[in-house]
């Protein structure tokens, strides 16, 4: 019983400390916030996941934004 308590305490300390990857949004993917979030992430896999999520967010935002461009006048 005396051996189990320190083991449980170690698991509680290190097992619950999971790094949370920020959600990709306009605020978190802005250049300054993105660099800060990358610096705070310790796990390389989490850095790659966040980078990929921001790239996907930016690509989706570019696809949604459009500008009306009228066609050239007919020359017939």
What's the pLDDT score for residue 73? 81
Q: Is residue 42 part of a domain?
A: yes
Number of domain units in the chain: 1
What's the pLDDT score for residue 28? 94
Q: Is residue 59 part of a domain?
A: yes
Say what the pTM is: 0.65
From CA 47, how far away is CA 53, in angstroms rounded? 10
Asked which of 12-16, 39-43, 55-59 is least confident by mean pLDDT, the reply is 12-16
Q: Is residue 71 part of a domain?
A: no
| 21 conformational bin, left if phi > 0, alpha if psi -120 to 50, beta if neither | beta
Note the pLDDT tens digit of each residue in 26-49.
999 999 999 999 999 999 999 999
From CA 56, how far away is CA 18, in angstroms rounded? 24
What's the pLDDT score for residue 38? 95
Query: Domain range holding 39?
Result: 22-63
């Amino acid at each position: 019983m005396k051996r189990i308590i320190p083991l449980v305490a170690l698991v509680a300390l290190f097992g619950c400390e999971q790094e949370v990857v920020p959600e990709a949004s306009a605020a978190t993917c802005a250049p300054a916030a993105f660099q800060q979030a990358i610096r705070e992430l310790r796990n390389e896999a989490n850095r790659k996941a966040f980078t990929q999520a921001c790239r996907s967010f930016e690509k989706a935002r570019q696809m949604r934004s459009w500008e009306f461009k009228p066609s050239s006048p007919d020359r017939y």
